Amino acid sequence: MSRPKKPPYAVDPHNCGCTECILGDYVSLREATDRQIALLLTGQLGNNTGTEFRITVQWSLSGDFRPGPPTVESVLVTADLWDGPTLTWDLTSQLDGPLGRMFDPSATDDR
Task: Return the domain boundaries, the chain.
Answer: 10-94
Evaluate if residue 100 carries a pLDDT over 90.
Answer: no
User: Which tops the pLDDT comparison, 9 or 111?
Assistant: 9
Read out DSSP for 49-105?
A: ----EEEEEEEE--SSS-----EEEEEEEEEE-TTSPEEEEE-GGGTTSHHHHHT-T
Evaluate if residue 110 carries a pLDDT over 60.
Answer: no
Q: Average pLDDT, stretch 81-91?
A: 88
pTM of the predicted structure, to 2 decimals: 0.82
Confidence of residue 111 (pLDDT cuts 50, 70, 90): very low
User: Which tops the pLDDT comparison, 62 or 93?
Assistant: 93
Q: Average pLDDT, stretch 90-110?
A: 81
